[in-house]
Structure 1
Amino acid sequence: MGEQAANEVRLIIASGEASPDLYYRTRFLTPDPYIYIEIRSEKIIFVNDLEIDRAKKESTADRVLPTRDWENKLSSSGKTVSSVNIVSAFLEEEKIKNILVPFDFPLGYADGLRKNGFNITASTGPFFPERAFKSTEEAKMIRSVQIGVEEALGEIVRILKESTIREGFIHYGGRVLTSEAVKSILKKEMIGKNLLGEHTIVAGGEQACDPHMEGEGPLPAHLPIVFDIFPHHESTRYFADMTRTLFKGPVKNVHRELYEAVLEAQKKAISLAKPEEESRKLHQAVVDTFLALGYQTGEKNGRMEGFFHGTGHGVGLEIHEAPRVGKTGELLKPGHVITVEPGLYYPGIGGVRIEDMLYITDTGFENLTTFPKDWGTVAIP
């Protein structure tokens, strides 16, 4: 066959659950690592006897090979049975020496292959750049997860409507409502829809000033409570991502103005979303809006305040993937799924963030997020 160029032979050794790239190419989920080799677009996987029948039924691989055959060859030749030596034996038969691997390919595997005489090149960018462009079917999978997220948060809205306010805190069912309790309810609601959510954020008051603070303790009344929910589907593995800021009880003017500023910035950024638009322009629109409204960003008393994160990111088989929507970015293209999530955070006041997901189409975008952002929904009496 002759030696192949590095960019023609790709190798992944990982589990389907741990590697979004591997799952993207094979659609085969496993808890344990298996070998994937791609030669001139032919997809080849090596699996053990436990998984081989399922792999033949479920995977999109062109060839499903039993590791048993290669283990026997190695044993008969007195070589150690290992993933590295199985790959080496196969590629030696194919007369291949150059291999392209993902940027985060395990060093132990790379060292072993180099020791066996192979040239290993790590990808400097996405291993499968086409992953960033979602088909309409993939967008439907993401939207399906989003529907579950919205239904789960809808249950929290119902609880907040039935809650009371005592001594500045929210009470439900005769006891103070905590961040932990709300996250537990959200998790229960989502798992009933086969959605697995980790690190869900329910952060109220001062805690909302740290964008990735997950939240703990009693939830305050009258202050903004940030809900950032980003599960993936247990079967399809696709994520969704939504943030809403809710209030229980009368809202002070300072918080109302903060919320209105974030909503205005989000609307302006969303209005720019279309194919061939630079994603950084969406971010700049947010920055410009906040500055025009008098909201400054910077360090004060040792803490950051204002708007100090990117405007968004891609969503798919990972919660954060291409493309970026920030100070640097790239041209938006049909198939991109991006978030638009501006926020303002001021210690002593609180934090507000609002996040939608957009699917870029040939002519503009489709908003995959339908949960309301109006005051009638977010300010719960």
Structure 2
Amino acid sequence: MTSSTVPIDISAELESHRSDVYLMVGNSNNADIFYATHFFASDQFAYFQTKDGKETLLISDMERGRAEIESRVSDIRTLQDLDYRAKVKERKDPSLAYCDCIAEVLQKGGAKRVAVPRDFPYYIAQTLKEEGFSIEAMKSPFAQLRSKKASSESDIVKKVQDACNSSMKAAAEMVRKSEVVEGVLTYHGFALTSEMVRKEIDMTLLEHGCESDSTIVAGGTGSSNPHWEGEGPLKANEPIVIDIFPRSKKERYFADMTRTVLKGEPSEKLADMYEAVLAAQEAGIAMVKPGVKCSDIHNKVCDVFKERGYDTIREGSNVGFIHSTGHGVGLEIHELPFVGNSDVELEEGNIITIEPGLYYPDVGGIRLEDLILVTSDGHENLTEMEKRFVY
């Protein structure tokens, strides 16, 4: 995580927008806010950075003690410092009083031109305009910074991916231990369902201090929908796509992994699809190093599929390989850089997925996903889990 002694400099972006200050308002579920402050709070608070690099945190009174310990921002002000209660009494509206507190911080800092993120709260922007400030929405100045992980951040992601490995092993073990009864997988005498496997994944992640929403355990032909979560009994001889993307409950960083497994005997088509996805993924991972364009990796994956007779998104197909090759992972599950039709070059410190897949509604889906750290001279695969199709 970012050290409190290391500045996060966005002065160049502020200068290009001719802005005096950058202002964010929200809670720690906003990745930029958490990255900039290293402070977790579920209630709304505000972050300011001036064009001179001075940072300020505006929080509720009861959060001061914790913020002084946890936040990387040293200038901490509370609503009480700004007579919030008096402003509420005067305005007869807590929301407007909160805006007045923000305005007072800006005024005392000599700021008139305020840059805000594109998803900035509308009512705060309008109130600040009424109070004489100019407001300009701009693209996140932190997104590119967040894409290059410091070693401390990479260590957190590695820890979360270790939890992901454990949960994926637990899920695969349920499939391995299952028995086939009239074409349905059974586990300890009950039909093995997507929900049961997902529960085992969740429990394993919690034991490792992680959590995950919308985990995918998709069986049968429904697995041809890449983001279908899956439901109901799992069947023999059909693909089961398991996609786990946990987040550390404490440090807030994500990890990501997908495996496709099958109990029984795969059809010739499914076996060929699996081998094609594995070959495409291996080719994509082998290319990962600093200076390589994301589009080159994506095109290589498409080339492997085309050579094996499969349709791809590059030709506009809506079956076969129908999504990008990967994406950055960090404080958001999908962040920069995006490994698709982009000429952005990989940099040391990027953490990306390589996750080719094939999807045919009459057959099902196959996807394999590893999490890759871009190093100074190549890459490190953070994904331990074996790639085994048939159990």
TM, length-normalised to structure 1: 0.93
Aligned to 1:29: 40
**SS in structure 1 of the partner of residue 57 of structure 2:** strand
Q: CA deviation at 1:7?
A: 4.4
2:190 is the counterpart of 1:175: yes
Corresponding residue for residue 10 of structure 1: 22
Is 2:62 the partner of 1:50? yes
Tell me which residue corresponds to 1:199. 214
Q: Are 2:389 and 1:378 equivalent residues in the alignment?
A: yes
Partner deviation per Cα, 1:78-131 (whole Å, 9 max, x = no partner): 456522111111211222101111121111111111111111111134444211
Counterpart in the other structure of 1:239: 254
Residue 252 (structure 1) shift: 2.3
2:321 is aligned with what amino acid?
Answer: F
Is contact 2:239–2:260 with CA below 8 Å preserved after alignment?
yes
Tell me if structure 1 keeps the 8 A contact 2:254–2:330: yes
Match of 1:64 among 54, 62, 76: 76
Which position in structure 2 is the counterpart of 1:184?
199
CA contact (8 A) 2:87 2:100 kept: no
How many residues were matched structurally?
Answer: 369
1:331 partner letter: E
Whole-angstrom CA distance in 2 between matches of 1:297 and 1:287: 6
Match of residue 317, structure 1, among 331, 356, 367: 331
- With over 3 angstroms needed to count, the CA separation of the structure-2 counterparts of 1:224 and 1:71, relative to structure 1, is same
| Matches for 1:216-255 after TM superposition, within 5 Å | 216-255=231-270
Deviation at 1:211, TM superposition (A): 0.1
Alignment partner for residue 119 of structure 1, among 134, 155, 173? 134
Give 1:235 deviation, angstroms: 0.2
CA-CA distance at 1:199 after TM superposition: 0.3
How many Å apart are 1:75 and its aligned residue? 3.4
Alpha-carbon RMSD across the aligned residues, in angstroms, is 1.8
The question of whether the paired residues in 1 share the 8 Å contact of 2:60 and 2:80 is answered with yes
What corresponds to 1:367 in structure 2? 381
Name structure 1 gaps, 5 residues minimum: none
Superposition deviation, residue 58 in structure 1: 0.9
Give yes or no for the alignment of 1:333 onto 2:347: yes
Contact preservation (8 Å) 2:292, 2:345: yes
Which residue identity lines up with residue 365 of structure 1 in the other structure?
Answer: H
Q: Which amino acid aligns with 2:76?
A: V
Whole-Å separation in 2 of the counterparts to 1:249 and 1:7: 62
Closer, same or farther: CA 76–277 of 1 in aligned 2, 3 Å: closer
1:8 offset after TM fit, Å? 4.8
Per the TM alignment, residue 205 of structure 1 is displaced from its structure 2 partner at its CA by 1.2
| Equivalent residues of 1:204, 1:224 under 8 A apart | yes
Give the letter for the 2:248 counterpart: H
Structure 2's unaligned 5+ residue stretches are 1-13
Q: Deviations over 1:333-374 (max 9, x none)?
A: 11111110000001111110000111111111111111111x
Mapping 1:17-166, distance limit 5 Å: 18-39=29-50, 40-71=52-83, 75=87, 78=90, 82-166=97-181
Equivalent pair of 2:68/2:74 in contact (CA under 8 Å): no
Secondary structure of residue in 2 paired with 1:304: coil
Structure 2 equivalent of residue 296 of structure 1: 311
Q: What secondary structure sits across from 1:323 in the alignment?
A: strand
Say if 1:102 and 1:127, in contact at 8 Å, map to a contact too: no
Distance 1:196 1:316 in 2: 15
**AA aligned opposite 2:61:** D
Q: 1:172 to 1:84 in 2, by over 3 A?
A: same
- Tell me the TM-score normalised to structure 2 length: 0.90
SS in 1 for 2:262: strand
C-alpha contact 1:42 1:62 (8 A) present in aligned 2: no
Change (3 A) 1:107 1:127: farther
Q: What aligned pairs does 1:257-276 form with structure 2 within 5 A after superposition? A: 257-276=272-291
Could you tell which deviates more after superposition, 317-326 or 147-156?
147-156
